[in-house]
């Protein structure tokens, strides 16, 4: 997907509106607990500063649902961004109101300002035309660098692009390169790891990957739907009874395509959903009633690790167990450790798998960790993302 970037448009001295993804986690004291999304936006912001642009940043935070709610203010982001840039980031008191218009008119070249939470505006998530035009009236160029919201057709992600020259920032360029170009022409063997709760959440991804990969490794709660479809008891494990035929179809498709489709051979089970529940490891064919599967077992870890050691391209989306609880994070952590030492292009498709790799302190060992959970999933499925489609094509 060849989209124009900020390097392919004349920006010098212009007012530039940049859609960022500053939807960061914070604690009860409103202290940011993970600033990765802010850090990820820095290369684009710094490039615009160096080109003497008047930089106007915008983002959402949380779900204020069209109402002004102080707990969702971007003041904490402005403070952190000021610290990271080493210069003041001006925070407007509204989104597209009088205060914003006044502050934009007073911007000097190299200045950086941040609009208040775009979701304080009721029209944002409706892709309201009037709001989109107001966003566009603030600037001369629109830059989208928020891959995490690229699958949403909102005023600040797609609507505004109808009224201004629209290009991508460096973060979206990077995402498109790794999730698009690299996976379209992967070095082989190409292995995909899919985890998470439901087969239904990953149908599109599995179907798409079966056209590309050499091996597909399945983990997480979705594995139990496959086990049940094969006629085995899964106890109290999460299982989509209405997706058993689909599970069989996917396994048959893999066979027809010559894709190695690997399911766990053992599973760590618990008596109840709690961090310190009684647990044990059993074969996947021997899950007793009253027990629930929460992780892959040691034999599966070894089998999957052996498969990954020869891989040259790996994409991973979704944890392999209930990694929030230490005793059921063993599989996910073991696979992360294995991959850290594999010489391959290694791409993490955002969301919980990205959090797991970060938690294990192994992020630096991966080629690319996507900043978009839902967006990366839809992109891997082959869906068109509105926030990307709205950008100008690069005809060069």
Residue 302: what pLDDT?
Answer: 98
CATH of domain 6-172: 3.40.50.1260
Catalytic residues: 37, 198, 351, 374
Q: Grade residue 130 by pLDDT with cuts at 50, 70 and 90.
A: very high
Residue 396 has pLDDT above 60, yes or no: no
Q: 């107001």: which residue's tokens?
A: 134
Give the C-alpha separation, 368 to 269, whole Å: 32
Give the C-alpha separation, 387 to 369, whole Å: 19
3-state percent helix, strand, coil for the chain, nearest multiple of 5: 40, 15, 45
How much of the chain, in percent, has pLDDT values that exceed 90? 83
Predicted TM-score of the model (pTM): 0.86
Residue 381: what pLDDT?
Answer: 81
**Helix axis angle, 330-340 to 298-308, nearest 10°:** 20
Residue 179: what pLDDT?
Answer: 85
Residue 1: what pLDDT?
Answer: 62
From the options 3.40.50.1260, 3.20.20.70, 3.30.9.10, 2.60.120.650, give the CATH code of 186-381: 3.40.50.1260
Residue 359: what pLDDT?
Answer: 80
Digit-coded pLDDT (tens) for 24-57: 999 999 999 989 899 999 999 999 999 999 999 9
Digit-coded pLDDT (tens) for 88-106: 999 999 999 999 999 999 9
Do 6-172 and 186-381 share a fold? yes
Domain ranges in the chain?
Answer: 6-172, 186-381
């Amino acid at each position: 997907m060849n989209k124009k970037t900020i390097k392919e448009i004349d920006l010098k001295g212009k007012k530039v509106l940049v859609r960022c993804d500053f939807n960061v986690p914070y604690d009860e004291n409103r202290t940011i607990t993970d600033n990765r999304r802010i850090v990820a936006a820095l290369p684009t912001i710094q490039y615009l500063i160096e080109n003497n642009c008047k930089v106007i940043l915008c983002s959402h935070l949380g779900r204020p649902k069209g109402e002004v709610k102080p707990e969702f203010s971007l003041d904490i982001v402005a403070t952190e961004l000021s610290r990271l840039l080493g210069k003041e980031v001006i925070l407007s008191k509204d989104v597209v109101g009088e205060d914003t218009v006044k502050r934009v008119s007073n911007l000097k070249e190299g200045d950086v300002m941040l609009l208040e939470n775009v979701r304080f505006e009721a029209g944002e998530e409706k892709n309201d035309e009037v709001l989109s035009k107001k966003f566009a009236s603030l600037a001369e160029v629109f830059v989208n660098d928020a891959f995490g919201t690229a699958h949403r057709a909102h005023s600040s992600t797609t609507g505004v692009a109808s009224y201004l020259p629209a290009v991508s920032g460096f973060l979206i360029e990077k995402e498109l390169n790794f999730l698009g170009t690299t996976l379209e022409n992967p070095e082989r063997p190409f292995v995909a790891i899919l985890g998470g709760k439901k087969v239904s959440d990953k149908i599109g991804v599995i179907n798409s990957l079966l056209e590309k990969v050499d091996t597909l490794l399945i983990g997480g709660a979705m594995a139990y739907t496959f086990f049940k479809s094969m006629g085995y008891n899964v106890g109290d494990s999460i299982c989509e009874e209405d997706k058993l035929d689909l599970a069989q179809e996917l396994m048959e498709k893999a066979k027809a395509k010559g894709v190695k489709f690997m399911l766990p051979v053992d599973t760590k089970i618990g008596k109840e959903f709690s961090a310190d529940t009684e647990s044990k490891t059993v074969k996947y064919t021997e899950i007793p009633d009253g027990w629930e599967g929460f992780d892959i077992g040691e034999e599966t870890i070894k089998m999957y690790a052996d498969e990954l050691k020869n891989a040259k391209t790996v994409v991973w989306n979704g944890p392999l167990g209930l990694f929030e609880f230490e005793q059921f994070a063993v599989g996910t952590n073991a696979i992360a450790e294995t991959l850290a030492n594999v010489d391959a292009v290694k791409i993490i498709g955002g969301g919980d798998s990205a959090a797991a790799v970060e938690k294990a302190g192994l992020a630096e060992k991966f080629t690319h960790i996507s900043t978009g959970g839902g967006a990366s999933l839809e992109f891997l499925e082959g869906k068109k993302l509105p926030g990307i489609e709205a950008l100008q094509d690069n005809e060069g």
